[in-house]
Amino acid sequence: MKFHKPLLILVSLLLFTCSSDDDGNSIITILPNITLDINAINALPDGSDITDLVNFGQPLGVSTRDWEVELEEGGVLRFEQPGGLDSDNVLFYSRVDYFDPTGTTPAPEAEDVISFIVPDDAMQVEDPNFPGTGFNVYDKIELVAINADDDNDLDYKYDIRVMIQVNGDLLPNYYFIDPKIKIKARN
């Protein structure tokens, strides 16, 4: 009987400490399967929208521009390196800007809902447009849903500003990818 009582206490402790969070929601990480046409991008002028040259692994028939990821509070959308790049080519992420669902009006309030995170394992290099200022670009980023509305889903368009490294040289051009994100309501 002495053996059963400590075992019962241990099992009880495990049951109370193994929940995913206080609301019972699991935290998921979405890692899109990114592909892009780096030669086509390299031929474009600075500031070009490259959304149609990027694929996030969305379902057939859904354009990258219309691809929408849905996150619950605590969910993570992680952008890493596209598949199929040569070792001297890198896609670097610079920043993310949020807009209303039409993509026309800036939505600075989105920064109270979605946090831009640079993972610990990200490679960073200095942005060649701002030498010596501490502005960096990263080979991977995360967008984390840090908040949500109680009753309404929050829909945003967002621009991911990126740079590309071709044959080991980081080009000073910025390009933009323009998908959608939805933060699901808590209720």
Which domains are seen in the chain, by residue range? 24-183 (2.60.40)
pTM score: 0.81
Q: Note the pLDDT of residue 18.
A: 28
3-class SS string, the chain: CCCHHHHHHHHHHHHHHCCCCCCCCCCCEECCCCEECHHHHHCCCCCCECHHHEECCCCCCCCCCCCEEEECCCCEEEECCCCCCCCCCEEEEEEEEEECCCCCCECHHHHHCEEEECCCCCCEEECCCCCCCCCEEECCEEEEECCCCCCCCEEEEEEEEEEEEECCEECCCCEEECCEEEECCCC
Tokens describing residue 117:
């995170």
Q: Which residues of the chain have pLDDT under 50?
A: 1-25
Q: Note the pLDDT of residue 152.
A: 96
Q: Note the pLDDT of residue 8.
A: 32
- 168-184 pLDDT per residue, tens: 999 999 999 999 999 99
